[in-house]
Structure 1
């Protein structure tokens, strides 16, 4: 019986082996013919010597793709997003609810507020640079210069001279005589430092009323002899009540928008 089962097993194993051998023979014989008929895909960015405008167009496309890939960093560095999201984080910590509202909600609200605050700058860039370029009334280089002007105006408006001078001290560059001599990259770095300082200042002011409420609740619990009861647990509902009564979100959003002078 053992010999019978062994023969059956060897017969079953020989069948897939025969299939593999047959498939290998087919690929060996028909492989060169299939390789000759197989389609190929190639990507060539080169243009003819007599068509320099095609080279320029390809470079503009590559530049546009690079800008799109750096769009998140652009939003974080040269817009109002940094100040808004940091102030929202301070607000959550001050109220004692570090997970509410969720980070996704606050980031979405910060993006919408950024669009509102940056609308005048974006509209000027669209009217002076983007639309004339799309209508082929100006060249690519001129469009970049005209798009840079409104953005630099916004950055200069919210950048402290002291924060900008820090980078000149670090790089040991010659001090500029006017705003036109300030590089945009240097200006963006100074703008980031100024935004961080402004956001922390606003965050400190947000903490004050909630800190006072914490102190009052702690004093009441201490006077009542409830020293084992965490004051933060008792103070959190009162913080939320205070924030709702003063219409905190409308007050916060309005103050942030007005802080940019829009």
Structure 2
């Protein structure tokens, strides 16, 4: 790289450093002033006053909100139908023989918005039962946490096999040293988060791979037919994938595959999510 080409880059870095040097003390001073003001409000307010309790509650709500936002991607994966959608779409792309089409971003976005569509009743129940009363100072943080989790707990319990719940309930009893007669939960309220979340995950993985197997079958049949035709024609050096790929794509388009797959995946949840 010539010195002339490197000059704009150095000038940009110098400008950034100068901006940080000039704005840093001001930002630090503003932050310190904000903390001092907050401390003054807390110190001036008498113990047990409504102002002090309200401000302390708002601070706790802000900390809780930041914590939830930081773990939101993990919660979206383990407590919703996102796992099944994204795995089925990935298996479909492999069955079609397309490596990067549709891209990962397209499949993930489609699975994300389908998840929001299916989980909308659950989100509304969590908002109306827990978050909205909490923001109106009608309930405490502990009550809001319980009410927000109940709709998700009911959704996961309804979509989890009893066998999977039994597995983790048995393991939980062994780890606690209370192994004996195993009593399975009959309702979502009786199930614990410790056993329900992993049981829901493996149930979703099992269903996703079962759907993926059924998706693979017609495309494997097309691959076998094309390979047999090429072998009988003596074109053994021609890769069958080059010939079968357009046939698989047009087959999927003609049967309106995206409509059928997306509709079937969402309909498998709709009675549970709406009920």
TM-score (norm 2): 0.76
Structure 1 segment 57-76 matched on structure 2, within 5 A: 57-76=58-77
Match of 1:242?
Answer: 251
Q: How many pairs align?
A: 226
Q: Deviations over 1:182-202 (max 9, x none)?
A: 222321111111100100000
Listed as ranges, the gaps of 5+ residues in structure 2 are 1-24
1:121 and 2:122 correspond: yes
C-alpha spacing 1:40/1:220, structure 2 compared with 1 (3 Å): closer
CA contact (8 A) 2:78 2:201 kept: yes
Structure 1 segment 36-47 matched on structure 2, within 5 A: 39=29, 41-42=31-32, 43=35, 47=42
C-alpha spacing 1:242/1:41, structure 2 compared with 1 (3 Å): closer
Structure 1 segment 89-168 matched on structure 2, within 5 A: 89-168=90-169
Q: Which 10-residue stretch deviates more, 105-114 or 56-65? A: 56-65
1:199 and 2:199 correspond: no
Q: Deviations over 1:126-151 (max 9, x none)?
A: 22222222233333222222222111
CA contact (8 A) 1:94 1:206 kept: yes
Structure with bigger gyration radius: 1
Structure 1 segment 178-217 matched on structure 2, within 5 A: 178=185, 179=187, 180-217=189-226
Query: Within 1, Cα distance between the matches of 2:30 and 2:124?
Result: 45
Deviation at 1:233, TM superposition (A): 1.0
Q: Deviations over 1:18-66 (max 9, x none)?
A: xxxxxxxxxxxxxxxxx9xx95743478644713443333222111110
CA contact (8 A) 2:169 2:184 kept: no
Query: Within 2, Cα distance between the matches of 1:86 and 1:177?
Result: 29
Structure 1 segment 216-231 matched on structure 2, within 5 A: 216-231=225-240
C-alpha spacing 1:217/1:65, structure 2 compared with 1 (3 Å): same
Match of 2:8?
Answer: none
CA contact (8 A) 1:92 1:98 kept: yes
SS at match of 1:101: coil
CA contact (8 A) 1:92 1:100 kept: yes
Q: Which 10-residue stretch deviates more, 156-165 or 125-134? A: 125-134
Deviation at 1:67, TM superposition (A): 0.3
SS at match of 1:201: helix
Deviation at 1:231, TM superposition (A): 0.7
TM-score (norm 1): 0.79
Query: Within 2, Cα distance between the matches of 1:170 and 1:151?
Result: 23
Match of 1:6?
Answer: none
Listed as ranges, the gaps of 5+ residues in structure 1 are 1-34
